Amino acid sequence: MQWGIKNRLARIFNPETGRTVMLAVDHGYFLGPTRKLENPRETIAPLIPYADALMLTRGVLRNCVDPESRIPAVLRVSGGVSIVGPSLADEGLTTSFEDAIRLNVSAVTMSIFVGTEHERETLLNLAELVDQGETYGIPVLAVTAVGKELEKRDARFLSLCCRIAAEIGAHYVKTYYCEDFEKVVESCPVPVVIAGGPQLDSFRDTLQLAHDAIARGARGVDMGRNIWQDEHPVAAIRSVRGVVQENMPVDEAFELYRSVAGR
Ligand code: 5RP
C-alpha cells in the first residue's frame, strides 16, 4: 500500500489499537434534516473530541465544521437520490476528486447496492473512485447494504457485498452487524467497520452491538443515529469509544454512559 493511503488510514484508525470510532453525520444527503441532525454544527461540535473521524458530505464539512478542526474527514461522494424518490439505490458520484483533495479529506466514501438494479453502476463507480484514490493517495471506504438492502442482512449477503467491494479495491468497508459476523470479516481482506442502523430500544443494546462486532473482528464503528439521536449524545459516544478503543466490557461502558449522562 502506498505511503499516502497508509498515512491517511492511520489518521482514521488509531495506530495503537488498529481501531476507529467514526461518527456518521452524512444522513442528510438523502434524508434531509433528519431528527437531531437538523442543525449539523450543533450536533457535531460536542462530539468531535471523542471521534476518530467524521463521515459527512462536503456541504456539511464546509458549513458546519471549522477548518481549524483537526478531525479527519471521510467524505461521502455519492448521492443524487432522496427518501421520497423512486430508488435509494440509484446513486451516482456527487463530488469530484479534486474537491475532495481541496478539502484535505482523509478518505472518500460511497455506497454500493449489490443485488439491486443499480448494482453494476454503483460497483463501476466504486472502481472509478478507487482508481482516483490510488492516483492521489486517498483511501476509499465502500458502504454496503443500506436502505431496502437491510432486509437481506445476513452473513451470506453481507459477505458477498463486502468481498466484492474489497475485490474492486476499497481500502475498507462498512457494513451491518449480523449473526455469524465473523464470517463476514474472515472473507473480507480489508478492514470492516459497522454502522449502527436505526436507534435501538436501549443504549445498552448499542454498546452490546459495538462490543460483539469488535469481538468478532470489526475494526471499529461508523455510527450515527444511536449516538446523536440518543438523549445524551456525549455520554453515548464516550461509552462507545470505551468499548471500541479501550476494550471496556459492556457493563463498565454502560456505567460510564450513566455517569456522564448524570443518571
Ligand atoms: C447512510 C450511511 C450512514 O452513515 C450509516 O448508515 C451510519 O449511520 P447509522 O449508524 O445511523 O446507521 O452510510 O448511507
Tens-digit pLDDT profile for residues 241-251? 999 999 999 99
Is 236 inside any structural domain? Answer: no
Is 213 inside any structural domain? Answer: no
pLDDT category of residue 42 using cuts at 50, 70 and 90: very high
Is 215 inside any structural domain? Answer: no
Residues 6+ apart with CB under 8 A from 108: 74, 75, 76, 77, 95, 97, 100, 129, 133, 138, 139, 140, 141
Rounded to an integer, what distance in angstroms lies between the CA atom of residue 100 and that of residue 169? 19
Closest residue by CA, ligand 1 atom 1: 27
Q: Which residues line ligand 1 (CB under 6 A)?
A: 24, 26-27, 55, 111, 143, 146, 195-197, 222-226
Is 50 inside any structural domain? Answer: yes
Looking from the CA of residue 223, the nearest atom of ligand 1 is 10
Per-residue cell: 127: 472502481
Looking from the CA of residue 199, the nearest atom of ligand 1 is 11
**What letter would DSSP give residue 149?**
G
Q: For residue 224, how far is its CA from the centre of ligand 1 (angstroms)?
A: 6
Write down the pLDDT at residue 149: 60
Is 209 inside any structural domain? Answer: no
Is 65 inside any structural domain? Answer: yes
pTM: 0.96
Is 85 inside any structural domain? Answer: yes
Which residue among 6, 148, 152, 174 is the active-site one?
Answer: 174
Q: For residue 79, how far is its CA from the centre of ligand 1 (angstroms)?
A: 13
Looking from the CA of residue 225, the nearest atom of ligand 1 is 11
Q: For residue 24, how far is its CA from the centre of ligand 1 (angstroms)?
A: 6
**What letter would DSSP give residue 115?**
T
Q: For residue 223, how far is its CA from the centre of ligand 1 (angstroms)?
A: 6
**Number of domains present in the structure of the chain:** 1
161 sits in which H/E element: helix 155-168
Residue 218 confidence (pLDDT) above 80 = yes
Write down the pLDDT at residue 262: 92
Residue 185 confidence (pLDDT) above 70 = yes
Closest residue by CA, ligand 1 atom 14: 146
Per-residue cell: 139: 483511501
Rg of the chain over CA atoms, in angstroms?
17
Closest residue by CA, ligand 1 atom 12: 197
Looking from the CA of residue 109, the nearest atom of ligand 1 is 13
pLDDT digits (tens, 9 = 90+) for 189-198: 999 999 998 8
Is 254 inside any structural domain? Answer: no
Neighbours of 255 (CB within 10 A): 14
Q: Which of 27, 172, 174, 229 to mutate to test the pocket of ligand 1 (most atoms within 8 A of CB)?
A: 27
Range of the domain at 170: 3-199+222-230
Write down the pLDDT at residue 148: 62
Beta-sheet strands, E only, within 99-198: 107-112, 140-144, 172-175, 192-195
174 is catalytic: yes
111: CATH: 3.20.20.70
